[in-house]
Amino acid sequence: MNSLLEEVNRKYVGRTPHMADIGMRVTGVGPSRGSMLLPDRPDWVGDPGRSLLHPGVLTVLADSACGLAVGAALTERAPYATLDLRMDYLRPAGPGQDVHCDAHCYHLTRNVAFARAEVWQAEREQPIATAQATFMLSTPGGSRTPGTAAGAGPADATAEPDPAAWQAPPGSEPVLAGLQVPYVDYLGIRLAAPSDPPLFRMPYQDKLIGNPRLPALHGGVVAGFAETAATLHLIRTLQGAKFPKSIDFAIDYLRAGRPVETFAACEVVRVGSRVALVQVRCWQKGPELPIAVCRGHFLLTAPTAPDTPDAPAMS
């Protein structure tokens, strides 16, 4: 069994830049099942004030483990990609402990695979999150020229830029002045400037790649970026009156995230006395070509006490 796990880790984790960079590893594999572990690291903190993990790292782990379970369910090797993923956050996740995930591909059709997962830390019987995901099977494989869409030819390097094409704001600034959030810094998320309403940007880094063949960003990274944008946008909207805490987050993947900078814009759909709903649109070439659309519910909690450092609750 150890030799099998070593082989799976070499092929599944070792060939995936993002999994390898964060130290993720496969801890179990069986028929239609997969288990993975994310080692504890200070970079995963998303709420410095309360020392809680960013939910984005849980999404990366769940997406990866569900993908492993789908691969274990297939009788013949074939490419597949995440269609959608929903995370439900059951209790806070703190640092100082590894994070585990057990996933099960519970139904397989000719075109679609369905998987669910539980994420936990100290006790398997006390999950910190659950995930539900669907995957499209037999998606196109093979390498493409970076920056070109599926079915498109290489871009003409000598072509004049389209003046009507969307242009990213030229500047950027920290998302939270005077406060460092480790996971936000790990992803390199910035606030585009000038931009009104707020526009968030995530510069491309090789370590964010989840599919090296296309290449494409890891789906969990896109989700983590989108949820960060939603949380920060809500914090700005509330102006310190309350602080948001993630209840659930759902993402639909529309296109592969190419190895270029990614942007996110948010809309606060509703703010109630206890819960807020935020929608997010992520794109690369322009807002009319989103790579993902997302929505999340956030519990609104009272501001921190006067003697407690104000910090965003990205957990």
Rounded CA-CA distance 189/118 in Å is 27
pLDDT at 306: 41
CB 202 within 8 A of CB 262: yes
Rounded CA-CA distance 82/206 in Å is 20
Q: Which two tokens stand for residue 84?
A: 């959608």
Report whether pLDDT(232) > 60: yes
Burial (CB count within 10 angstroms: exposed 0-12, middle 13-18, buried 19+), residue 247: middle
pTM value is 0.88
Report whether pLDDT(309) > 60: no
Report whether pLDDT(76) > 50: yes
Q: Per-residue pLDDT averaged across 33-49, rounded? A: 96
CB 68 within 8 A of CB 61: no
Query: pLDDT tens for residues 2-25?
Result: 888 999 999 999 999 999 999 999
Q: Per-residue pLDDT averaged across 73-96, rounded? A: 95
Residue 296 phi/psi, 5-degree rounding, is -145, 145
DSSP H/E element including 191: strand 190-193
User: How does residue 310 score in pLDDT terms, banded at 50, 70 and 90?
Assistant: very low
Query: pLDDT tens for residues 23-34?
Result: 999 999 999 999
Q: What is the mean pLDDT of the chain?
A: 89
